[in-house]
Chains A and B, each alone.
Chain A
């Protein structure tokens, strides 16, 4: 595995800028924006390392989301209840919007009166759309894993023994 350090720094830097911009759009407070930047830099650096190691985009995005999710979870005492959201903001630059657009362009091209090389266009288009779906699934699952593994069991509803018995409705005859 060869790591291009300049490329790694480039990806981390622009991942940080993109995540900060989206942090502002998502109305994080100014105190949290540097954390958004750190989360974006960490996610993009991890993804770049994964791709440099020969992994495909989906696997690299999954690893990046896992790292961002676990880091946010471990820094929970500093980040408060917004830790998971900060990790998500860091992963937003990995959302493959450009691939999604390419996939849709390809589908439009297929509907032209005389499509050029329709078989190849269909394959390319479907490949783009599948990569979007798998990458989104990888990011979502990667982020969810940290929450599921390190989550403190929250009492969201009463145990069955304490549950309320609703009075039975009686219909008038």
Chain B
């Protein structure tokens, strides 16, 4: 190989490497959005892999942790590795479905890399959420319905609905202010179960302890608990165990909040 050939080969590698950077950014954006909206690790890996191949890279390795994602992608002789931090994990299926639909289109070659990043950013910013009061009332009804499923009497239905609604409303305010998730779980459990207990006692309910528990079921992290299982079943035990620990801690804080409210109100001993 002549010196000129070597220079050309090096330049080619550098050009390919430059091209890989935005592909990695697009893939990490997809992966981060899916993680933050409640997808399991397998879904994140599948969609990320599709996007990388759709944008022209040949190889992808993704490592998903609880609070960060690392990706290595390669094309020809070039490869790069990037890492991104993940925000708070929540559940937002409308955004998750929009991102997955877009990932499918990217995989089919509909977008250039720059267009893909721009479209992903647009979807992230443009996906609607239900108004906060709608979410609060919806959650209130869910708690009251939960109570009925647990055997709570009708007298406690409206108090639990009110407790759950107020609890969710305050929870949204605390989340917006970035309060620690476990402190939110404990505080909201205390508030919602206290309101549920006071209201159901006033309404003449004979199932006040059940009403207290039903008022806080909005805090039970059902989706993260299922994701933890899927992750472990599908070969991502590290992430699965991290999720399971967070779920357990949330339930402990929730139960503590209910217990304190119950002892103060004389409902629980």
Contact = CB atoms under 8 A, between A and B. Distances in A.
Interface of A: 10-11, 14-15, 17-29, 32, 44, 80-82, 85, 88-89, 91-93, 95, 97-98, 100-102, 104-105, 108, 136-137, 139-141, 143-144, 154, 156-158, 162-164, 166-167
B96 interface: yes
B26 interface: no
B255 A93 contact: no
A24 B149 contact: no
A101 B213 contact: yes
Contact of A164 (B50, B59, B101, B226): B59
A25 B138 contact: yes
A137 B256 CA distance: 24
Interface in B175-208: none
A140 B233 contact: yes
Interface string B203-239: 0000000100110111110110110011001000000
Looking at B92, B93, B100, B143, which has the most chain A CB atoms within 10 Å of its CB?
B93
Given A25-B142, A27-B91, A154-B46, 13 more contacts: A17-B142, A24-B130, A28-B93, A44-B149, A85-B93, A85-B96, A93-B145, A97-B216, A100-B220, A102-B213, A105-B268, A140-B226, A166-B79
Nearest to B92: A27
A158 B58 contact: yes
Nearest to A47: B149
B148 interface: yes
Interface string B121-156: 000000001100011001111111110111000000
Main SS at interface, chain B: helix
A27 B135 CA distance: 9
B252 interface: yes
Contact of B213 (A85, A97, A137): A97
Given A139-B226, A166-B79, A17 B141 contact: yes
Nearest to B213: A98
Contact of B95 (A27, A88, A91, A140): A27
Interface string B32-50: 0000001000000110011
A41 to B, nearest CB: 11
28 contacts: A14-B148, A18-B146, A21-B145, A22-B142, A22-B222, A23-B138, A25-B138, A26-B91, A27-B94, A27-B95, A29-B94, A81-B97, A82-B93, A82-B97, A93-B149, A97-B146, A97-B219, A97-B254, A100-B251, A101-B251, A104-B251, A104-B256, A105-B259, A105-B268, A108-B259, A156-B49, A157-B49, A158-B53
Contacts, number: 157
Contacts of B95: 27
Q: Mostly helix, strand, loop or mixed at chain A's interface?
A: helix
Nearest to A18: B145
A92 B223 contact: yes
Nearest to A162: B58
A24 B128 CA distance: 12
Given A81-B97, A82-B93, A95-B220, A166 B148 contact: no
B28 interface: no
B71 interface: no
Contacts of B146: 14, 18, 93, 97
Nearest to A101: B255
Contacts of A101: 213, 216, 251, 254-255, 258
Contacts of B210: 98
A130 to B, nearest CB: 14
A133 to B, nearest CB: 10
B77 interface: yes
A24 B13 CA distance: 49
Contacts of A137: 229
Contact of A18 (B50, B130, B149, B229): B149
